[in-house]
Structure 1
Amino acid sequence: MSQLKIYNTLARDKQLFVPIEAGKVGMYVCGMTIYDYCHIGHARMMMAFDVMYRWLTVSGYQVTYVRNITDIEDKIIKRAVENGESIYSLTSRFTQYMDEDTAALGILPPTVVPRATQYVPQMLGIIEMLEQKGLAYQSDDGDVNFAVRKFPGYGKLSGKSIDDLVAGAGARDVVNTDKPDQDKRDPLDFVLWKSSKESEPAEVKWESKWGSGRPGWHIECSAMSCATLGEQFDIHGGGADLQFPHHENEIAQSEGAFGHPMTNFWVHNGFVRVDGEKMSKSLGNFFTIRDVLKVFDPEVVRFFILRAHYRSPLNYSDVHLEDAKVALTRLYTALADIDLGSGTAVVDWNEAHAVRFGDAMDDDFNTPLALAALFDLATELNKSRSVEHARQFKALAAVIGLLERTPQQFLQGGTGEGALSPDAIEAQIAARSAAKKARNFAESDKIRADLLAAGIVLEDKPDGTTNWRRA
């Protein structure tokens, strides 16, 4: 295979990937703020880094993949109070829902899943280091803030300058909006430690040298990444919306505390869009993963996401998902009626289609081009019906989490509300066969038409048997 290149947001270019430690990769991805169901935008982010995790592993690296859970934050506190439940109860429940949704989509669990509430001592340690270096101060209201102007290079990830932030409304992206600006020395400064409010639940209050409080959002990831991967690691990822201010502030905190780069590669996935707008809870145009999975097979959703490069915008619509279903059905149909035997197929990386697939994945995880190689191999398989081609095809698809069921399981699966059961379908096929034997072709044709109207496609085989699949 060729050498892996990854687009580094900080460099604004694709760069050759060389790990800090030969043969090992440390990757940290900013995960979910847990207070509600995950939507398709979240699925896109987790899928992007799932593919990276898979490809790095296939490439021979020992990968430590860390994806955190933010289980302490303003929205979480608000929702728990509204529900009349504990923060732990709320976040544990939605963490379970997230795990169920990601498992359905074939997203592998990360190596480490730190929860923010487990790392408050480490956060306090970094804040104290920043204070000692003159980069953090306590304001009159008890909050501890990061002094943005004292960190040279602030804005290097996002391309935003201090002057632009001061001059424009963009400064509001950095400002901690739940407190008056006059409590900070500079409106650009952001909060590291929030002083406790009497109205807040006791479970979100920790003691510190600055008094009772809780961590700001940005410091959480600086602490968790350092605790799990070290002061400097290979890849830091997340959605494009986190580039500023979250990741910019992480750089300021971590580099300010430790005096060297936090990570070698900053990687960001593109947005999911609905009618030209970013999918988000704040806009109310989001679709939860579990609602989508009530209508579409999970692998269809996975395939839909992988058809777009992870850095490109992904346009969500039922039409695009239906098109993805048709395309994935074509891939599964290529495997139909071929006995692959027992055992797990292994990719032959010297085979021409696998070379193309590998080159695509080494070019910044280009799944659209990798899928193109798969479709060309499917065309070859349809011609040859070769077991060898079929094993290579299935093994190559499995690298990105596709075609891991049998054709029958996929083509006959996906029952939704009101869908005919397999037993009911088989009974109709038997009735049609009996009608054909009785030369009652009108009845036979009616049964076929009725099944088609119910979304069932019949395929008569030369040996007189009939296969079926869901349309």
Structure 2
Amino acid sequence: MLKLYNSLVRDKQEFVPIEPGKVRMYVCGMTVYDYCHLGHARVLVVFDMVARWLRASGYQVDYVRNVTDIDDKIIRRALENGEPFTRLTQRFIDAMHEDSAALGVLPPDHEPRATEYVDKMQAMIGTLIGNGHAYAASNGDVYYAVQSFPEYGRLSGKSLEDLRAGERVDIDPSKRDPMDFALWKAAKPDEPSWASPWGPGRPGWHIECSVMGSDLLGPHFDIHGGGQDLQFPHHENEIAQSEGAHGCKFVNYWLHNGFVRVDDEKMSKSLGNFFTIREVLEKYDAEVVRFFILRAHYRSPLNYSDQHLDDAKAALTRLYTALRGAEAAAWTIAWDDPHAARFKAAMDDDFNTPEALAVLFDLAAELNRAGTAEAAARLKALAGVLGLLQREPEAYLQAGAETGGLTAERIEALIAERLAARKAKDFKRSDAIRDELKAAGVLLEDGPQGTQWRRL
């Protein structure tokens, strides 16, 4: 029985899909005006894990992750660069795809771009105006009238009065209520725009996801996900728009992943404490970063530091070392197997990846003791559900930048020289080679199969 923590009710609930055997899931994707940072990496990896587990559980999953390719930040950056906004967004969409592929993230089934849906956004805005949920203002903008939707605030757990009191909203004389939000923004000089019944302009951010989600998944679907920071106002506004336009429940289960933190502060560009995925991958193997993200429960804060990444690297190395030299038999996961059953119980409990990873370490310990092909197969198969341990162990253990100018070929040559020195009982030279390699970040491990090496 799969249970999800539903932000809408602030509790775990048994997952019951709208259509038996099928899951329709929408996740808010990236606003593409810069390289993705580690917070984006968490969203990418977490919901890739969710989709993988749903499929491993036998569901047919239709997974949508959108791209916001028109937005205030995009327009501002394009103007700063003196380039068309479409060139800017395409460059960072390509970079996002490279980063997500490096992290082992499978492509979503659909990746709609906001600019492809402007006509349908205008249609939904027209519907909202027609049924009294929106109005065209004197400044050329179109606003959603929050007072027209009595349940506004239920996702964030606050009443409209609480939200008004807690939010600093600039007074805009064109709005009927300070909390009203833009569905359509009138064009400003030098901005891209589209013709509309309300004059040239562009869509507001919130309407994008309501339209793309309902167009691809229907007006009522199973799961909507995103970062915790989107819960209010973005997801709150999506509910108001979608239910106001379609007259039915929008989403059954809302999933939100926790923040990435640096020195106990939320990682953000405004604080200058953010790291792009590319910067992190210059120092750490991409699978280490994926493991680091999955090592924490998706709803908990993820504390970034070199020490935590180093710990993740050491832990992943232990798993790959256990597989080293083991011939993994072909094994189709049998969920009644004791280890698989524990893994499944953890994942069915709101995607408890820390507990699922603990099962992998138990299997690695068993593999180190017994060294059976069956144990290796179990470890590799269960890890594969999380997108881990699918490389040949040597490829992971010996991967990384050359240290001290030592290529793999040079390391093998030094190992051969060390073996010759040992045969000649020249232990001083043998020890010197080991020390030289260790100083260069290469660890030698002598065993029954000879000398193996890995990068530290």
Q: 1:252 aligns with which of 240, 247, 251?
A: 240
Provide the secondary structure at the position in 2 that maps to 1:121.
helix
- Look up the equivalent residue of 2:304 and give its one-letter code: Y
SS of residue in 2 equivalent to 1:31: coil
2:345 aligned residue: 359
CA deviations on 1:236-270 (whole Å, 9 max, x unpaired) are 00000000000000011001111111110011000
1:335 corresponding residue in structure 2? 323
1:324 counterpart residue number: 312
Q: Hey, what does 1:293 align to over in structure 2?
A: 281
The yes-or-no answer on 1:283 pairing with 2:268 is no
Please say if residues 403 and 440 of structure 2, whose CA atoms lie closer than 8 Å, have aligned partners that are also in contact: no
1:380 is aligned to: 366
Structure 1 partner of 2:148: 150
Aligned match of 1:191? 182
The aligned amino acid for 1:15 is Q
Instruction: Quote the offset at 1:438 in angstroms.
Output: 2.5
TM-score (norm 2): 0.98
DSSP-derived class of the 1:266 partner? strand
Secondary structure of 2:190's partner? Answer: coil
Find the partner of 2:106 among 105, 108, 123: 108
Work out whether 1:231 is the aligned partner of 2:219: yes
Trace 1:64-463 onto structure 2 (pairs within 5 A).
64-168=62-166, 170-172=167-169, 181-200=172-191, 204-340=192-328, 345-415=331-401, 420-462=406-448
Deviation for aligned residue 1:171: 4.3
* 1:294 Cα deviation from its structure 2 partner: 0.8
Give the secondary-structure state (helix, strand or coil) at the position aligned to 1:268.
Answer: strand
Question: Do the aligned residues in 2 keep the contact of 1:348 with 1:392 (CA within 8 Å)?
Answer: no
Deviations 1:406-463 (A, max 9, x none): 1111111122575621111111111212222222211110110110111111111235
Segments of 5+ residues of structure 1 without an aligned counterpart are none
Q: Secondary structure at the match of 1:32?
A: coil
SS in 2 for 1:267: strand
What TM-score, normalized to structure 1?
Answer: 0.95
Could you list the per-position Cα deviations for residues 28-62 of structure 1 after superposition, in whole angstroms to 9, with x for gaps in the alignment?
A: 00000001000111101111100000000011111
Amino acid at match of 2:250: M
- Is contact 2:117-2:211 (8 Å) kept? yes
Task: Flag the 1:139–1:417 CA change in 2: closer, same or farther, 3 A.
Answer: farther
Q: Does 1:467 align with 2:428?
A: no
Cα separation, 2, equivalents of 1:411 and 1:219: 47
Gaps of 5+ in 2: none
| Residues 346-373 of structure 1 deviation map (CA, whole Å, 9 limit, x = unaligned) | 2122210110000000000100000011
Sequence identity, in percent?
63
Q: What amino acid does structure 1 have at the position aligned with 2:154?
A: K
Q: Distance in 2 between matches of 1:258 and 1:416?
A: 58
Question: Does the 8 A contact of 1:294 with 1:416 survive in 2?
Answer: no
SS of match in other structure, 1:70: coil
The alpha carbon displacement at 1:166 in A equals: 2.4
Separation in 1, partners of 2:240, 2:118: 19
* Partner Cα distance (1:468, 1:199) in 2: 59
Q: Given that residues 274 and 285 in structure 1 are in contact (C-alpha distance below 8 angstroms), is that contact kept between their aligned partners in structure 2?
A: yes
Cα deviation digits, residues 136-165 of structure 1 (max 9, x gap)? 111111100011111111100001221122
Distance 1:416 1:263, change over 3 A: farther
Taking the TM superposition and a 5 Å limit, the aligned residue runs for 1:12-51 are: 12-51=10-49
Q: Report the secondary structure of 2:283's partner residue.
A: coil
CA distance in 2, matches of 1:45, 1:416: 31
Per-residue deviation, 1:185: 1.3
